Amino acid sequence: MRFDLQHTDTRSAARAGVITTDHGTIETPIFMPVGTVGSVKGVFHRDLKQEIGAQIILGNTYHLYLRPGTDILERAGGLHRFCAWDGPILTDSGGFQVFSLSGCRKLTAEGCRFSSHIDGSKHLFTPENVMDIQRSIGADIMMAFDECPPGDAPYDYAARSLNLTSRWLERCFERFAQTAPLYGHAQSLFPIVQGCTYPDLRTRSAEFVQQFDADGYAIGGLAVGEPAPVMYEMIELVNGILPRNKPRYLMGVGTPVNLLEAIERGVDMFDCVMPTRNGRNGMLFTSEGVINIRNKKWQDDFSPIDPAGCCFADTTYTKAYLRHLTIAGEMLAAQIASMHNLAFYLWLVGEARRRILDGTFADWKPGMVEKLSRRL
């Protein structure tokens, strides 16, 4: 993997670049649709490419390990062939999912023992076998195995968690160096900066991860309950330490406003389930603000879903029709809303990139944030 930094905004830390992988190039800043189990919920891969403009998608190690399992994935030739996606893929390590299973997991120096959310069966994740699982999946970008403590974790807990994550990171890179890709294309491993909302812990982590000279670096453990201004403070702190010539990936974030604020602070890559999850529940993100399509005010609004038209569904269907489908519980409603939201997110990061390159980002961003914050 190679990252070429093309331009940095003169009035902020916003950057535009290009990531080159064996499965194609990715123009940054970029939003990555979440395909947890090998699919972006309700969206065909054809539409991901042609309508939404996705350049890279995510898979999740925890979920793919449980089903279909590494045996099936290896026999299929890896996740790319299994799900018929020929572009780049990034896999999360499963650390966040294990964090969310706090009631049925146990952390030790060895790794994490947990019970499957599917059938209650017992499993062990270690830095070593998480690397092996991601080799079996075959993602272009792999993530290190980490613990993601809650946003309000006390300092002592956060410090112990960071020490554990740091020891696990050393083992991840050791195992990564001992193994080879299975499917003929290169794989990269990103470390994850942790440390909750404590500046000294974040600083220590951002300095520690650089010893591995990785192809890119992730910022984890944010958007887990802390106030947005604190999240932005941590992003700014960490990006001031991480190397300029490597991509920075903010994990699990966030709203359109979060994306622009993080881009302004030098983040290059994002993922979040919000466009699809919120879309399935009737929330639409647009360049003029947020729509709750369930509201009665839309029942006789026969205007297009979004006149700006990020995808075909925006100008083909009306707000009244989408509200009708949503209230009726029709699955097409979730598909339309998911496609719209994902296309809007990809438009937003693409427009931010264009503004960075032409020098207008700092002028454009405040007005855009104001509009994105509206409830329509």
For 318-364, write each residue's pLDDT tens digit: 999 999 999 999 999 999 999 999 999 999 999 999 999 999 999 99
Whether residue 10 lies inside any domain: the answer is: no
Total of domains in the chain:
2
Please indicate, yes or no, whether residues 262 and 344 belong to a single structural domain of this protein: no
Q: Which of 210, 241, 272 is the last residue of a domain?
A: 272
Q: In the annotation, is 92 catalytic?
A: yes
Identify whether the C-beta of residue 247 lies closer than 8 Å to the C-beta of residue 3: yes
Report pLDDT for 102: 57
**What is the SS3 assignment for 20?**
strand
Report pLDDT for 103: 63
Whether residue 125 lies inside any domain: the answer is: yes
Tell which wins on pLDDT, 21 or 106.
21
By residue range, what is the domain housing residue 227? 30-272
How many whole angstroms separate alpha carbon 299 and alpha carbon 293? 9
Q: Would you tell me the crossing angle of helices 155-178 and 127-137 to the nearest 10 degrees?
A: 50
How many whole angstroms separate alpha carbon 255 and alpha carbon 327? 24
How many whole angstroms separate alpha carbon 129 and alpha carbon 178? 12
Q: Which of 237, 252, 272 is the last residue of a domain?
A: 272
Please indicate, yes or no, whether residues 77 and 193 belong to a single structural domain of this protein: yes
Degrees to nearest 5, angle at CA 162 with 159 and 165: 155
Question: Locate tokens 């952390």: which residue?
Answer: 107
> What's this model's pTM, rounded to 2 decimal places?
0.96
Mean pLDDT, the chain, integer: 95
Report pLDDT for 152: 85
Q: In the annotation, is 4 catalytic?
A: no
How many whole angstroms separate alpha carbon 279 and alpha carbon 270? 18
User: Which residue out of 9, 47, 92, 146 is catalytically annotated?
Assistant: 92
**Positive or negative torsion for Cα 104, 145, 170, 69:** positive
Report pLDDT for 180: 98
User: Which residue out of 215, 271, 306, 314 is catalytically annotated?
Assistant: 271
How many whole angstroms separate alpha carbon 127 and alpha carbon 288? 44
Q: 241: which residues sit within 8 A by CB, 6+ positions away?
A: 203, 206, 207, 210
Please indicate, yes or no, whether residues 185 and 268 belong to a single structural domain of this protein: yes
Please indicate, yes or no, whether residues 247 and 287 belong to a single structural domain of this protein: no
* 220-238 as b/e: b if 16+ CB within 10 A: bbbbbebeeeebbbbbebb
Please indicate, yes or no, whether residues 283 and 256 belong to a single structural domain of this protein: no
Q: 228: which residues sit within 8 A by CB, 6+ positions away?
A: 258, 261
Please check the confidence at residue 96 and state whether its pLDDT lies above 80: no
Please indicate, yes or no, whether residues 214 and 92 belong to a single structural domain of this protein: yes
Report pLDDT for 196: 94
Q: Which of 239, 272, 305 is the last residue of a domain?
A: 272
Whether residue 20 lies inside any domain: the answer is: no
